[in-house]
Structure 1
């Protein structure tokens, strides 16, 4: 296996990790409007992800940086062609981070409600747009002989990509719902389990339709295995949630995300961005990659740094592993 193939796999792993981790905190952000009934319950939901949401975003920064260094042509075409949706995602992530930090800085009802509204929308919009973006990456876009995107933003709003957006939105919301059931106690935990069943049924229909469409269009034997794993894990997550096994349900919803994203990368390889104008104009792991020397240096750095990052993030989740409820929410002090 060549180094550019290795880095394609590593970038796929980074995106899988990002969607697994950021997926549930996007979902929790959406639940601040769908599940929480009062201010105390909103604080419970936000506190479940408060210690980890910023660490989860490190996976996005690493995936973007790795793409820039390992596949500069892919990075340039992707970020120029998808400029508006990616800019909107970036703005949402900035506002979302500010909202988490500033929501409790003042006691006024309007102040806190406005920031909580911002958390809801800046969780929902990226959750949808990431599916649209990856749907277009897999489907292919208008790339010319100079490896430049020559379409417009409306070309990105095609049925396949929009379905992909609905898939990531509902799947992340389901992932966040079972995470909430795992991390909370009391009435909010029970309501999260009931909501997870309803959201999960819708998610199962959308995920199955999207992955079957992908398989029919671009799939092979390996992607078919990933499809079966994704759908089976999602159905199993619904059953374990109904049985009150939140740990298993969360694990299985995570397996669904891992398998579904892995399937997208399996159908994409060896392309990184297919061209719908001419297959010879597609960006591949070969013509979009950096020099072998650059990839070699990056590989050594990854071997050294990655275990340290994983250990630190794992330790963070271990420290903040306990369940919380409204009884743990202290009165604000200003």
Structure 2
């Protein structure tokens, strides 16, 4: 802790905020993409769901791009170890983002149901694999990877795919799917609105089982409870409380409450992982001495200072624009691709 200066701490926190913002915003995009194969029963309903995220999905992905750029500039050592050690996982994530992005464009240009179905499936697959492999990567990272003193990771299949990482990936998929269902209820009217509520009420039971499994594996697979017991227990309690509130909102048709709390659950999960990592950025399973620390991975103070001033200048503009875009596209979507003026709920 003493080795971490204020600028390093600031940028470690900002990267956490960027990932949290990404999962809050892009999380419901992933959920809507997955819901196209379950909630929507025909082409007009599928179009209705996609219309809810059509104006915003690409803007939401900017949070991930910014997080990656900030990671590269502020913590090049972390970036190097993470991207080399998780190269294949990140390649799969990139593949999922690409096929998901192009599916929005190509599906509307297909002339036959068969060809359109191909891009509908790529939308679903991309929306599924991205949160799964993000969850798998983050849980593998906090569990610890076989990293030597030079920051090189020489991992085997079981270092990436183990019970903890798979549960983490499934939990992330469930959270994003539920967040998407809550967003659908907030943004649509008609049968998909009702159907999304039915799915959400059923899946929250599964989610609590998944969260219990995740918490148990977090206890046995990481040192979070010994290194940061207060923040770990507090954030786990917060995740449970937020999940209960989201469940209450789903059952009582309080759509705004359900959506906000499901998104904040994702934010709290990211906070849990970042608090547990601190003051490390990469955990070594070989030796604690090989773990990469914030102070070792960061850029120079001058670089961090310049980045801070640039961020302070442009961040309010970006946030203002994104808030305005959500305000413009705030209305509910009908099955016939129309809109209704008020939210209700």
Instruction: Write the distance in 2 (CA, Å) between the matches of 1:202 and 1:290.
Output: 43
Equivalent residues of 1:173, 1:199 under 8 A apart: no
Deviates more, 1:22-31 or 1:222-231: 222-231
Deviation at residue 293 of structure 1 after TM alignment? 0.9
1:294 has 2:303 as partner: yes
Deviation at residue 255 of structure 1 after TM alignment? 1.5
Q: 1:184 aligns with which of 182, 188, 193?
A: 188
Instruction: Write the distance in 2 (CA, Å) between the matches of 1:225 and 1:272.
Output: 21
How large is the RMSD of aligned CA atoms in angstroms?
1.3
Corresponding position of 2:30: 26
Deviates more, 1:46-55 or 1:219-228: 219-228
Question: What do residues 72-97 of structure 1 show as CA deviations (whole Å, max 9, x unaligned)?
Answer: 11101111111111001101111111
Question: What do residues 169-197 of structure 1 show as CA deviations (whole Å, max 9, x unaligned)?
Answer: 11100100111011100111111111101
Alignment of 1:1-334 (within 5 A): 1-215=5-219, 217=222, 218-219=224-225, 220-328=229-337
Equivalent residues of 2:140, 2:159 under 8 A apart: no
SS at match of 2:150: coil
Question: What do residues 108-162 of structure 1 show as CA deviations (whole Å, max 9, x unaligned)?
Answer: 1112111101100010011110100000111110100111111134421111111
Equivalent residues of 1:208, 1:231 under 8 A apart: no
Instruction: Write the distance in 2 (CA, Å) between the matches of 1:215 and 1:51.
Output: 41
Q: Calculate the TM-score normalised by the size of structure 2.
A: 0.93
SS at match of 2:336: helix
SS at match of 2:281: strand
Instruction: Write the distance in 2 (CA, Å) between the matches of 1:312 and 1:205.
Output: 39
Deviates more, 1:69-78 or 1:208-217: 208-217
Question: What do residues 215-266 of structure 1 show as CA deviations (whole Å, max 9, x unaligned)?
Answer: 5641310121111111111111111111111111001111211111111111
Deviation at residue 212 of structure 1 after TM alignment? 4.3
Instruction: Write the distance in 2 (CA, Å) between the matches of 1:142 and 1:329.
Output: 54
SS at match of 1:272: strand
SS at match of 1:327: coil
Runs of 4+ in 1 over 4 A off after TM superposition: none
Q: What is the number of equivalent residue pairs in this alignment?
A: 330
Instruction: Write the distance in 2 (CA, Å) between the matches of 1:78 and 1:17.
Output: 20
Deviation at residue 295 of structure 1 after TM alignment? 0.7
Deviates more, 1:211-220 or 1:158-167: 211-220
Deviates more, 1:254-263 or 1:9-18: 254-263
Q: Calculate the TM-score normalised by the size of structure 1.
A: 0.96
